[in-house]
């Protein structure tokens, strides 16, 4: 009797993770497409950083908190599209910097997109096929993120290109590991809400893309 109950619990757990994973990948695909559309609009319309960068940061964080608060309701779907759409639009000035600042800017962006896609699929595939739980990586990755944030803030005043490249290289590694970590959390029922799972993976992909593009611009960019 006990063994049957254990088997039923395992089956329920597997069904639950498959459902969350399926919904997460579907929502992630849709939000990435929407984010790409708003980013393309920002590039075409010539969006610039201007004087509202701080407001944009605060507004983006506000949308993230709203999405988190609504994660268990149907409004959470609308909120996550608002958040990812805004994040995509906010990428416009960053993309314009490369597209118009480098002779091969468009090629750099496409290469970064391709590299991000391949990295995501490779890291996701590893997490899906390995039987290891990767929860032990959480603390290390969080410390790494904090170190990168502190270093990035310090570099605003130091203005050291070598430090910026080091930070970007670390963030490429950390975001790749986070993709594996966040996927593993879904598989092992560490994350059972597909909206929160989507946000985590979306941010991992965004950080990976941004910093991969920075590295490509530094080592393969051709200035006008």
Mean pLDDT, residues 182-189 taken together: 89
pLDDT at 188: 85
Q: Per-residue pLDDT for 160 more than 70?
A: yes
Q: What average pLDDT does this structure show over 13-34?
A: 85
Q: What's this model's pTM, rounded to 2 decimal places?
A: 0.91
User: Which spans in 45-104 are helix H?
Assistant: 53-69, 75-90, 92-101
Task: Select from 106, 100, 90, 78 the least CA-distant residue to 41.
Answer: 90
How many residues in total does the chain contain? 224
| 3-state DSSP of 147-173 | HHHHHHHHHHHHCCHHHHHHHHHHHHH
Left if phi > 0, otherwise alpha if psi is -120 to 50, otherwise beta: which for 37? alpha
Q: What pLDDT shows up at residue 48?
A: 75
Share of the chain above pLDDT 90, in %: 71
Range scoring the smallest mean pLDDT among 20-29, 75-84, 181-190: 181-190
- Give the Cα separation of 21 and 163 in Å (integer): 37
- What mean pLDDT comes out for the span 39-46? 92
Distance (Å, rounded) from C-alpha 72 to C-alpha 43? 34
Looking at residue 122, the DSSP 8-state letter turns out to be: H
How much is the pLDDT for 8? Answer: 44
pLDDT tens sequence across 44-76: 998 776 546 677 888 999 999 999 999 999 999
List the domain range (segments joined by +) for residue 46: 2-220
User: How many domains does the chain divide into?
Assistant: 1
- What does pLDDT average to over the chain? 89
> What whole-number distance in Å separates Cα of residue 134 and Cα of residue 180?
8
Predicted confidence (pLDDT) per residue in 104-143, tens digit: 999 999 999 999 999 999 999 999 898 788 888 999 999 9
Q: What is the pLDDT of residue 7?
A: 43
Phi, psi (deg, nearest 5) at residue 195? -70, -45
* 3 state SS of 102: strand
């Amino acid at each position: 009797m006990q063994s049957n109950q254990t088997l039923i619990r395992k089956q329920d757990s597997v069904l639950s993770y498959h459902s969350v994973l399926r919904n997460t990948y579907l929502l992630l695909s849709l939000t990435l497409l929407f984010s790409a559309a708003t980013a393309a609009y920002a590039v075409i319309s010539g969006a610039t950083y201007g004087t509202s960068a701080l407001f944009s940061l605060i507004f983006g964080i506000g949308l993230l908190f709203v999405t988190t608060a609504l994660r268990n309701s149907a409004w959470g779907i609308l909120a996550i599209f608002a958040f990812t759409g805004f994040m995509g639009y906010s990428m416009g000035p960053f993309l314009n910097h490369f597209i118009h600042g480098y002779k091969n800017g468009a090629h750099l962006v496409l290469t970064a997109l391709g590299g991000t896609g391949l990295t995501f699929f490779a890291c996701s595939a590893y997490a899906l096929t390995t039987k290891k739980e990767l929860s032990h990586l959480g603390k290390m990755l969080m410390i790494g993120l904090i170190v990168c944030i502190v270093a990035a803030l310090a570099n605003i005043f130091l203005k050291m290109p070598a430090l910026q490249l080091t930070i970007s290289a670390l963030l490429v590694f950390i975001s790749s590991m986070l993709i594996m970590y966040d996927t593993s959390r879904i598989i092992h029922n560490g994350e059972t809400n597909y909206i929160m799972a989507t946000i985590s993976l979306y941010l991992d992909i965004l950080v990976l893309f941004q910093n991969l593009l920075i590295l490509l611009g530094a080592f393969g960019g051709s200035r006008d």
